[in-house]
Each structure stands twice: as C-alpha cells, then as structure tokens.
Structure 1
Amino acid sequence: MPSGGKVHRRGPVIMRGRELPSAMADQKLLQSRTEDAWRVMRIQAEFVEGFSALRSITNAVSVFGSARTPKDSKYYRLAEQVGRLMAQNGFATITGGGPGIMEAANKGAFEANGVSVGLGIELPFEQGMNPWINLGINFKYFFVRKVMFVRYARGFIVLPGGLGTMDELFEALTLVQTGKIDWFPIALVGSEYWEPMVDWLRKTVAAEGMINESDIDYFKVVDTAEEAVEHMWNGIEALQNSKDNLERHADGT
C-alpha cells in the first residue's frame, strides 16, 4: 500500500498522486480570468464561513512566526510561554495553525485551558493543523485569512519568522499607518533577531524619508513572553481609555 508523498485536502476530500490539483485557488484567481464571476461567490462564502466561525472570539491576540522553528529552539519555548500567559490573562491565541512557532503558541494556550485558534491555508503540500487547536478553519484565499487575523485580534505578537511572518507584520503596520485600522499593540519578540531590521528601518528607510521616524513607534521590541503580553495589556487598555474619553466628550460629560 502506498504511503508518503504529497497530500492535498479540499474540505472532506483527500487527494494524492495524479489527483493532486494543478493549481491552488489563489493561483487560479491571479493567473486565470475564466469563471471570475463564480469565483466571487466562492470568496464571499469563505468570508461568511470565517465570520461565522469566529464571531464568538472577542478578546484575542494573533501570534506569528516561522513554521520551520524546531521544537528544541528557544523561540519555540518562548512561543509556548506566550500562548500560556495569554490564556492565563484571558486572551485567545490565534495563529496560522501550522507547525513551528504557530504550534508552540497554540500548545501553550491549549495546555493552559485557553482558547486556541488556527487559521490554516491551502498549500500545494499537506501542512495540516497542529494538534493543539480547539477552533480551526482552513482557507483557500490568503487575503480572506489575513482579514480574519486582523478583524478578530486586539494585538499582534510576532516571533522570528520568514517571508510570511514579515508579510503579516508589514501589512499590519501599513494598515495602522494609513488609518485603515485603529492603532493596536504590536510586539516583536527577540531583540537579537529583530534589531537589525529595526536599525535598517531607522538608518535607511526613515533616513531616506520613505517613512516617518515615528512610524517605528508602531511596534515594540521585547525579549520575554511577559513583556509581550504586558505590551498587549497596556496597549489595549490605553486604546480603550482613549475611546471612553472620546465617547464622554461626545456626550458632553
């Protein structure tokens, strides 16, 4: 009996070998103009499914980091601590649902009896949801998944990662910078990893006038899980106080 090899899941359907799809939904959307009208309906359905599944998540933080992080890494252990502390402080943990940092954060939250959420994505190979999730959704479209990460989170905690992690980080910063979303706390965990990027932003990007120096204040670099979660609490509390003051001002009180 054959074993191993690539596996692709589409809902309840499992595909292997010659039945593997030639392209993913994102690829078809960007490379083909056929069936565009019908594709809009599929995209709409995916938004509806995501909104419906996550509607009860009201106090969550999205955690990002590399899927390639091994279990014996200090960053894996740090992500576990992040998930555990967030659960102990009443936050749900939202990750991309995969291995590495995502698995570690979900594991920490799950073992602390917290809400552990995984937002997976269709890939050309089987990644699958890690086993530490008590609410999981698989998406076909990256942009739908990205909306869920932002819409249901009150802050971002970002551990060392690659292109996908950078994509989520800089998209969040862009949304805040352009006023598309209210400011929310963003913590980059691991100064050894992140400081070279921060130096580049400050000494090259800001120095060349491509961003304002103040844009770098949208995030905070920390080294411990305690600092990361504290930054979430402080930022969320400050934002809530600001909203309360605006409402009192509007009411004339």
Structure 2
Amino acid sequence: MKDFLHNPYLDKVTAVSEASHKDDTWRIFRIMAEFVDAFEIMSTQGPLISVFGSARTNSDSPICAEAEKVGKLLVQNGYGVLTGGGGGIMHAANKGAYEAGGVSVGLNIELPKEQKPNQFQTESLFFRYFFVRKVCFLKYSLGIMIFPGGFGTLDELSEALTMIQTDKANDIPVIIVGR
C-alpha cells in the first residue's frame, strides 16, 4: 500500500489536477462570456429554424440540393436558417437562405484541423465550447430539421430530443429528412 501512495505517476496526476483547478476558475468566466456574447447577437436574428447535417456531404449530392431548397423555402416563409456554419449540408442550407435574401446564421465551433465557416452566413458566431453552442441552437430555434450526418449530427439530435423530453427546452418540432 505504501508503494502505491508514493507512485510517481500519482504525484504527476496530483500536480496536473492542482494546476487545472486554478484554470477552472477562469474557465467559468470564458464560458459566461461566450454565453453573453452569443445571447446578445442571437436575440436580434428573428425566428430561426436549425438545420443539422453532415459537413462532409458533397455539394453536388441530391441531399445538398434538398438542403439548399429547404433554406430558400424557410426564408420565403419568414424564417431564418441556423446551422453549424460548416460545409456540406450546412453550407447548402445557409446558401439557400442567403441567396433568398434571408437571415443565415452559422454557429461555428473552434476545432483544430476542422471546419472553416462557409461564406453564406449573414451572422457568424464562434464557439469554444460545444455545450454553449448547443444551448444556442435550442434556445433560438423554433424547429429543427435533421439531414443525414455523422456523430456530430447524432449528438445534436440526441441533445435536442433529450432537452425537449425533459422540458429543459421548448417543445419544438424536430423533422428528420431522408430515408
């Protein structure tokens, strides 16, 4: 037991834990600032419908054509489009909304070696924390459309359904597009 308590690995873990504790205090302020900045901008965007889907879908695919059409139709019916701001499905939905002259918002996530914001956004927000970004999707969406995607899309769908089911978010329509 004594050897276990004096394990050099555990000493390193303790040192890292103590250092990260000091960083945690400032992390709270970064998170709060991210919420405040996002809420100030998002509250001015009008009625929005979130469109979730793969960032990696080819732009010439039929499902991207459908997402672009949806973006245009949403604007023609008085809604703006809210996406993750990346490529693929998000790019297509933002493009449809943007080219129809409507609000086209991208909630971009800061990741190493990942997406660059698409050029079809009337407003681009940048998030460090996924959970802050997901709160904004749910807080400011009057509905959600789910196109085919990967783990990110599945995460967004699961979060939305859980928050709606547990009354932590408004009871909004969730539409799954595709087969």
TM-score (norm 1): 0.62
Q: How far apart, CA to CA, are the structure 2 residues paired with 1:34 and 1:88?
A: 50
Find the partner of 1:120 among 108, 111, 128: 108
Q: How far 1:182 moved relative to its partner?
A: 2.8
Q: How far apart, CA to CA, are the structure 1 residues paired with 2:137 and 2:78?
A: 18
Give runs of aligned pairs for residues 131-150 of structure 1, distance below 5 A: 131-150=119-138
Find the partner of 2:87 among 99, 107, 119: 99
Secondary structure at the counterpart of residue 156 of structure 1: strand
Q: How far apart, CA to CA, are the structure 1 residues paired with 2:143 and 2:76?
A: 16
Quick one: higher RCO (CA 8 Å, sep 6+), 1 or 2? 2
Give runs of aligned pairs for residues 220-239 of structure 1, distance below 5 A: none
Post-superposition CA distance 1:24-68 (Å, at most 9, x none)? xxxxxxxx4341111111111111110111111231100000000
1:88 and 2:76 are equivalent in the alignment: yes
State the identity %. Answer: 54
Q: Which amino acid aligns with 1:44?
A: M
Alignment correspondent of 2:65: 77
- Unpaired runs of 5+ residues, structure 1, are 1-31, 193-253
Q: How far 1:177 moved relative to its partner?
A: 1.2
Secondary structure at the counterpart of residue 155 of structure 1: strand
Post-superposition CA distance 1:123-169 (Å, at most 9, x none)? 11142110101100111011111111011100100100000001111
Q: How far 1:181 moved relative to its partner?
A: 2.0
Alignment correspondent of 2:24: 36
Q: Is the 8 A contact 2:139 2:169 kept in 1?
A: no
Instruction: Extract structure 1 runs of 4+ deviating beyond 2 A.
Output: none
**Residues paired across the two proteins, number:** 160
Post-superposition CA distance 1:163-194 (Å, at most 9, x none)? 0001111111111111222311010001x2xx
Shifted more, 49-58 versus 65-74: the winner is 49-58
TM-score (norm 2): 0.87
Alignment correspondent of 2:117: 129
